Structure 1
Amino acid sequence: MVQYKLLACLLVPSLMMINWRASHSRRVSTKIPESVDQNVIIRALHDQPSFIKLNPVVIDVNQVPTDPATYEVELFQTSKTWDPIETYMLSSMITIIPWIGPWGQKHIQFGTWLRNTESGIKTYADAPFGVSVRSQWMVQPDTTRGAEGRNSGSIFGIFNAHRDSGWMLVVERTVECVWWLMPFVAYTYDGVHASVGRDLVELAGVKGA
């Protein structure tokens, strides 16, 4: 038994030194309630500093000049917008080890780039530890709308009692990082995007009231 434990102690650090990169993509959508104007959601997405601050792990946002080379990034290539790419430096507090309070948290800083589109916004984040996240937020017609016009399964799950508007808030995101970080990173961003999506719809409902 001691030999197996010793082998495990040696094997785990060795595996973590292997920098295989993994990629994980996900598409999440939520139906927009009839009481919410979809154009208000698009305007909320275009208010970039406020949109960034909806992220529950972001504690500070500073806009900085954009490197012209950023316009060559494939994600930002679009023929439907003349909006510039904006660059921000973010400060975040992330939980690495849960249940031990501040001792399990780490303060990180990283760059993120945003470009408005006709239906929403595209974002790219270059975080520490080799983590990169590409995402696109879009307001789109709901092609799955049922005859009753009711919300039938939003991942955000708070508007199921309301008649929907025929529009959806869609998030497409791809995370890339070393393989052993992927479960933590994917879980974190799933939670972040769900929280931001809820807050966007709620904020649009208040502004449109």
Structure 2
Amino acid sequence: MLAKHSYHTVAPIPPQVSRDHVLAALHDHTTCLTVQALTTTHSLLPATDPATLKDTFWYPLETYPVCSYRVTETIAFLPWFSWAKYALTFPSAFQSTPTGLKTRADTGGVVLRAEFRVVEGSTMEGVAKGEGEGLGEVRWVLVEHVEVVCAWWMMPLVRGKMEEAHRDICRKVVEKVMEEMAECPSTSR
């Protein structure tokens, strides 16, 4: 029997950062791969698995192509013991969309789908549980919706590790864009 868990997070985009800056960062897939807490390495794969492309999660593939990476994550089961770590390597597919990015990772027992969207802000209370409350008035926000599906007995561990890995991605993407803008103030992405 399979279990499903959803997680939402959101980060405000400061007024000096444009929507296009954040979209450009998302469309550079390395951004999300490098700010994810558990990812240790990644490399581009020559093709995406045809079974992955059949997922109805994707926008029309003719308009928005999907590319895949071989991703390695290091998962610590007991953080205080160096021997209690496990390196997990799996394919992760990415699709740049007009509003952001879609990703799908399949570890052979766990399927995780995430969608990042840059959307117009306002009072964000109620839009995203937990992380989004109290942002107040902002012009743009980066929202992530994550859904994980796995065997019910695996869900407690998978849920905790997924939330740990995705908790700060939106904030870190916005911070990375701000750092790049500070390094090259006269140029834009």
How many corresponding residue pairs? 178
Q: Which of 51, 63, 67 is 1:82 aligned to? A: 63
Any residues of structure 2 matched to 1:84-103 within 5 Å, and which? Answer: 84-100=65-81, 102-103=82-83
Determine helix, strand or coil for the equivalent of 1:103: coil
Per-residue deviation, 1:117: 0.2
Gapped regions of structure 1 (runs ≥ 5): 1-19, 147-152
The runs of at least 4 consecutive aligned structure 1 residues that moved more than 4 Å come to: none
CA gap of 1:46–1:138, structure 2 versus 1, over 3 A, is same
TM-score, normalising length: structure 2: 0.82
Identity %: 27
Write 1 or 2 for the structure with the bigger share of helix. Answer: 1
Q: Which of 7, 11, 16 is 1:35 aligned to? A: 16
Q: Give 1:183's aligned residue.
A: 156
Q: Which of 120, 124, 127 is 2:100 aligned to? A: 120
Gapped regions of structure 2 (runs ≥ 5): 183-189
Q: Give 1:50's aligned residue.
A: 31
- Counterpart amino acid of residue 51 in structure 1: C
Partner Cα separation in structure 1 for residue 54 and residue 157 of structure 2: 30
Any residues of structure 2 matched to 1:1-209 within 5 Å, and which? Answer: 20-64=1-45, 65-78=47-60, 82-100=63-81, 102-128=82-108, 130-144=109-123, 155=131, 165-209=138-182
CA gap of 1:133–1:69, structure 2 versus 1, over 3 A, is closer
CA gap of 1:34–1:173, structure 2 versus 1, over 3 A, is same
- Counterpart amino acid of residue 120 in structure 1: G
TM-score, normalising length: structure 1: 0.75
Per-residue deviation, 1:137: 0.3
- Counterpart amino acid of residue 58 in structure 2: F
Partner Cα separation in structure 2 for residue 145 and residue 124 of structure 1: 26
CA gap of 1:184–1:156, structure 2 versus 1, over 3 A, is farther
Per-residue deviation, 1:127: 1.6
Partner Cα separation in structure 2 for residue 165 and residue 207 of structure 1: 21
Per-residue deviation, 1:154: 7.3
